[in-house]
Amino acid sequence: MSDTLWNRRFEGRETVPLFESYNASIATDRFLADADVAASQAYARGLHRSGILTGEELASVLRGLEIVRERIRQGENLDRFEDIHTAVEFLLLDEIGEPAKKLHTGRSRNEQVVTDERLYLKKMILEIVELIADIQIALIQAAEEHDSVVMPGYTHLQRGQVILYAHYLMSFFWPLERGKARLRDALTRVDVLPLGSGALGGSTIALDREYLGRLLGFGNLSENSIDAVSDRSFILEVLGVLLLILLDLGRWAADCVLFASAEFHFLDFDDSLAASSSLMPQKKNPDILELVRAAPGRLFGCLSQLVLVVKGLPSAYNKDLQEDKEPLRIGVSTTLDALRVVALAIPRIRPRPESMARAVDDSLFATDLVDYLVEKGVPFREAHALTGEIVRVTGTPGRCLRTLSDDEYRSFHPVFGPDVKDLFDPQTSVRRKRTPGSTHPEQVREQIEQAKRIL
């Protein structure tokens, strides 16, 4: 930490290495290097417009910053610097000398850090949206490939009604679509340029902020310099949205782990997704899926960490805010990793149609039986009670509803005819559903078409 920005402020200041490293954020904010260089280049152009930098100085600063970016990309050790902003400034001084000393005119690290974070998040949000679309494409492909496979649909993890496996798969498409919409919406609040806010009160340099915003591709300018340097809600909001997305992926992963167990035997996952045991040689464990299931926990950790950093802080910049880097970086990388993994995992997880069909026992047709009676004029509540009784008498789960004779059915209610047996077929059951958005094969097809139109 030999290079500080303020070494003449103190006389004979004792340098305690532990304090210096405790104060530094360079170990966590290196990921902002590209953004810091880009923001500095724009700022230099702004200073040139305001008459602070000559054309020659500007050219030198811009060229120097290119070299600085390369040096950092090549892995230059930055440990001697407090943070990424200090590192970029000192490396620039090292490259070009004198003109570098003008770059920070009227600028504060307080505005730099949020400018960098906003630039970084804008880029990452677009990347995340694209990765979500990759998963959605994989879901559509799997749904189309297995479009006639039926399975039990569960509530309370108890067998409920027959559904199409494709319908089940597509139930993850729509939450992801909402995740993308939330991200795009959050992006409008990330897309705000703080530069020109100074430390907290603005800048005495007549900076053309519109120009800076255009150079950096920001859609909006912050309206209040105090708000601009204090606000971290744009990070909290995005972390919240990422958490929702990971909860959706985690639910899919949890289902897969369960459905791939020997007890269910509904899904077969590729060996590439598995790990075995150090002790039990027979094991094929779904490790990758279990980690996706755990990912929202990490994200919630990032979110709660940052909530607690900002909670109760006085207005404007406080050093506590330096602690926003880790949750931001880890929240984003946790999400990127999980999304990439899931996109590759989906085509490597295949249904076992026979096992699924075997699990479709007669109890899954109980609702169809109710509806049959209703179609024959029996009031729903009565039909429901009657079917409950039939289920109780015949026993569930099982293959019992179809074993009752026509006479036995008629003994429950005279409207029962021989056609009642037609109900006990999974394909018939899904086709009896009529509403848009239902598991009727045609509705599922329409759903998939709609999904393709959206993408």
Tokens of 181: 């919409």
Question: Which x/- pattern, by CB under 6 A, does the window 393-412 give for ligand ARG?
Answer: --------------------
Residue 116 binds to ligand ARG (criterion: CB under 6 A): no
Residue 118 binds to ligand ARG (criterion: CB under 6 A): no
Residue 109 binds to ligand ARG (criterion: CB under 6 A): yes
Among 43, 165, 173, 317, binds ligand ARG (CB under 6 A): 317
> What is the β-pairing status of strands 150-155 and 158-164?
antiparallel
Residue 40 binds to ligand ARG (criterion: CB under 6 A): no
Residue 328 binds to ligand ARG (criterion: CB under 6 A): no
CA dihedral 270, 276, 280, 281 (to 10 degrees): 70
DSSP string for residues in 327-339 = HHHHHHHHHHHHH
| 38, 216 Cβ separation under 8 angstroms | yes
| 335, 242 Cβ separation under 8 angstroms | yes
Among 35, 46, 81, 83, binds ligand ARG (CB under 6 A): 83
DSSP string for residues in 347-415 = GGEEE-HHHHHHT--GGGGHHHHHHHHHHTT--HHHHHHHHHHHHHHH-SSSS-GGGS-HHHHHHH-TT
> Which span sits near ligand ARG by CB under 6 A: 107-115, 182-190, 233-241, 250-258?
107-115
User: What's the rounded Cα separation, in Å, for the pair 412 and 390?
Assistant: 8
> Which span sits near ligand ARG by CB under 6 A: 105-113, 262-270, 359-367, 395-403?
105-113
> What is the β-pairing status of strands 267-269 and 349-351?
antiparallel
User: What's the rounded Cα separation, in Å, for the pair 142 and 346?
Assistant: 8
- Between 57 and 89, name the residue whose CB sits nearer to ligand ARG: 89
3-state secondary structure of 80: coil
3-state secondary structure of 41: helix
Residue 234 binds to ligand ARG (criterion: CB under 6 A): no
Burial status of residue 158 (CB atoms within 10 A of its CB: 0-12, 13-18, 19 or more): exposed
Tokens of 137: 């494409």
Of 348, 351, 339, nearest to 135 by C-alpha is 339
Residue 25 binds to ligand ARG (criterion: CB under 6 A): yes
> Which span sits near ligand ARG by CB under 6 A: 220-228, 266-274, 315-323, 399-407?
315-323
Residue 322 binds to ligand ARG (criterion: CB under 6 A): yes
> Which span sits near ligand ARG by CB under 6 A: 281-289, 302-310, 319-327, 409-417?
319-327
- Between 29 and 237, name the residue whose CB sits nearer to ligand ARG: 29
Residue 107 binds to ligand ARG (criterion: CB under 6 A): no
Tell me 192's DSSP state. E
> Which span sits near ligand ARG by CB under 6 A: 45-53, 248-256, 314-322, 416-424?
314-322
3-state secondary structure of 172: coil
Residue 110 binds to ligand ARG (criterion: CB under 6 A): yes
Nearest approach in angstroms of CB 213 to ligand ARG is 21
- Between 109 and 440, name the residue whose CB sits nearer to ligand ARG: 109
* Other CB atoms within 10 Å distance of the CB of residue 131: 19
Nearest approach in angstroms of CB 77 to ligand ARG is 18
| Choice among 2, 156, 272, 278 that is catalytic | 156
User: What's the rounded Cα separation, in Å, for the pair 60 and 98?
Assistant: 10
Among 321, 349, 356, 404, binds ligand ARG (CB under 6 A): 321
| Choice among 21, 276, 277, 333 that is catalytic | 277
| 293, 253 Cβ separation under 8 angstroms | yes
Nearest approach in angstroms of CB 231 to ligand ARG is 13
Q: Is 156 a catalytic residue?
A: yes
Residue 115 binds to ligand ARG (criterion: CB under 6 A): no
Among 39, 42, 72, 113, binds ligand ARG (CB under 6 A): 113
Tokens of 65: 């910053």
**At which residue do the structure tokens 């069909």 appear?**
357
Nearest approach in angstroms of CB 9 to ligand ARG is 12
Q: Is 277 a catalytic residue?
A: yes
Contact positions with ligand ARG (CB under 6 A) in 356-385: none
Euclidean distance between the first and final Cα of the chain, in Å?
Answer: 50
> Which span sits near ligand ARG by CB under 6 A: 68-76, 108-116, 155-163, 405-413?
108-116
Give the footprint of ligand ARG on this chain (CB under 6 A). 25, 29, 83, 109-110, 113, 317, 319, 321-322
Catalytic residue positions? Answer: 156, 277
